Chains A and B, each alone.
Chain A
Amino acid sequence: MAVQGIWSGTISFSLVAIPVRLVTAVEPGRVSFHLLHSRDYSRLARRMFCPEEKAMVPPDEIIRGYEIMPDKYVLMTDEELESVSPDRSRTIEIIEFIDLGEVDPIYYDHPYYLISSKGGEKAYQLLVEVMRRTNKAGLAKFVLAEREYLVAVTSRDGALTLITLHYSDEIVPDGDISPKKGTIEAEEEGRIRKSIELMTEDFNPGKYADKRRKKLMDLLATKVKEKAPVVSPAAVEEEGEGPADLVAALEESMRKVKESK
């Protein structure tokens, strides 16, 4: 199965290098709606649009720009961006391994999967297996488009996940809001502990997802009885109209994730 990658390169630890592709590990609306045009029910697609020419812009006419003053941009090609940190733009070099249990969850940002490319399957699986057995994660830095990410590479269900981490200077100090020392009443603490004991279960995250899905399905079931579904006209797929820019599309999807919360 061909999964479209956001990025391709190699991941390495010591003298072992594995060719990989990066794909997203979360899709905000796995039970989701599509946006349709109210007038003709045809599907809407997110595209980059030039407000000046009032036209869609194909990927090869798009470039990244940094705004140095209002409406004035310094343009940077992909090659120039890759030249900023050339040793990190196509390689994820694991600097060291850590015990996954030591990572404060506050650092976790966004999860991806790494998929092995041709020829890398064996070393890939070795890294997956060894990190699973030892419950370790590899720390690395790598550059995607204009950003450098600190990442933790871990093993999950037979695959390598890559989780971007926040840099420590992005963590807000909590000194001024942390609670004052105070006496804890033994009776109150005992009551809390007892409730916790009674309410401790094995975690099954699927049940919360099911609940959410059920609500949506109930709504849809009612709607189906009320009214027949609308038929969307089949649109002709045009060549070269894929996502305008994979990284931009990705950032957009991440923005959507944040907004949908």
Chain B
Amino acid sequence: MAGATIWKGSIHFGETDVPVKLHSAVREERIQFHLIHKQDRVRLRQQMICALEKQPVPADEQSKGFEVEDGKYIIIDPEELERTAPEGSRMIEVHEFVKSDQLDPVLLDRVYYLEPDLTNVQGNGYNALAKALKEMDVEGICSWTMRKRSYLGALQAWGGMLRLNTLRYADEVVPAASLGLHNVVLSEKEMTIGSELIDKLTAPFEPRKFENEHEKKLRDMIEKKARGENIAILSPKRLQPTDPGQLLQALEASLKKAA
């Protein structure tokens, strides 16, 4: 069952207004470890340490600075930042629509379900909007303010339902060009066999097939350790990297194996 309503707002563009309620679409319940000091078994805390005094600095002695040049900072007060914060609003403003396949997966952050808010509404804008987005294969790039923060998102239809997918800002993404990758020339034969191999290994996306098998094993190991039993240390499987000179042979052998 879906959780409580997080926020209420209204999708707006042109003459269209569709009131909606937001719900979380993802619930993570993952095993949680803490970082512990080996010597005294005390749980460690993250602290902001002054580079000069090598001492933790309490929150009220921390300032935000913007580095204008090496070692020189402009200090920004919290009040000044507050002034640039967006004004509270209930509007999810759609700025433009884009084809769904133009959204880079790296930008996609978190999905929220939108429930139609039928409190005081005429017509059935929700269903009409969901239908149009789906049939036109577009998503609405929009922004809104929730809990004093501004969000950028993509309004999307999935099934008959509207959802908001929050987006990362493009300048938060590390450019691939900065990774220092080398360009290597590949032969057309390597490319062709590689493509054939990947086609052979392609299956429909069925996420239900995949379970977190690791978590149960991890819990078993924790219990064992808690009982004082010894843990067998297994060395991780390491694969021998394919020799660049043998790549074509490895691809051909893989293709034979997949056939």
Instruction: Report Cα–Cα, A96/B198, bound state, in Å.
Output: 8
Instruction: Report Cα–Cα, A158/B179, bound state, in Å.
Output: 10
The answer on a CB contact under 8 Å between B74 and A220 is yes
Instruction: Report Cα–Cα, A106/B65, bound state, in Å.
Output: 36
The answer on a CB contact under 8 Å between A35 and B62 is yes
Give chain A's interface secondary structure class: mixed
A:3-62 near B, CB below 8 Å = 3, 9-10, 12-19, 23-31, 33-53, 56-57, 61-62
Subset of 15 A-B contacts with CB under 8 Å: A3-B178, A18-B242, A33-B76, A34-B73, A42-B53, A45-B51, A67-B32, A89-B237, A90-B238, A120-B241, A125-B183, A146-B218, A178-B160, A209-B169, A212-B169
The answer on a CB contact under 8 Å between A35 and B237 is no
A:138-173 near B, CB below 8 Å = 139, 141, 143, 145-148, 150, 152, 154, 156-159, 161, 163, 165-173
Interface presence of B90 (CB below 8 A): no
User: Could you say which interface size class chain A belongs to?
Assistant: 35 or more
Which residue of chain A is the closest to B158 with respect to CB atoms? A104
Interface presence of B84 (CB below 8 A): yes
The answer on a CB contact under 8 Å between A196 and B233 is no
B:177-208 near A, CB below 8 Å = 177-184, 186, 190-191, 194-195, 197-199, 201-205, 207-208
The answer on a CB contact under 8 Å between A209 and B225 is no
Which residue of chain B is the closest to A71 with respect to CB atoms? B43
Instruction: Report Cα–Cα, A113/B47, bound state, in Å.
Output: 28
* Minimum Cβ distance to chain A for residue B72 (Å): 4
Residue from A15, A66, A98, A231 within 8 A of B71 (CB atoms)? A231
The answer on a CB contact under 8 Å between B64 and A97 is no
Instruction: Report Cα–Cα, A252/B85, bound state, in Å.
Output: 24
The answer on a CB contact under 8 Å between B214 and A64 is no
5 interchain residue pairs of minimum CB distance:
A148-B214, A14-B254, A195-B14, A235-B51, A157-B176
Residues of B within 8 A of A178 (CB): 159-161
* Minimum Cβ distance to chain A for residue B125 (Å): 6
Which residue of chain A is the closest to B196 with respect to CB atoms? A130
A:112-132 near B, CB below 8 Å = 113, 115-116, 119-127, 129-131
Q: Give 4 new A-B contacts, CB below 8 A, not counting A15-B250, A28-B172.
A: A86-B237, A105-B165, A196-B132, A200-B136
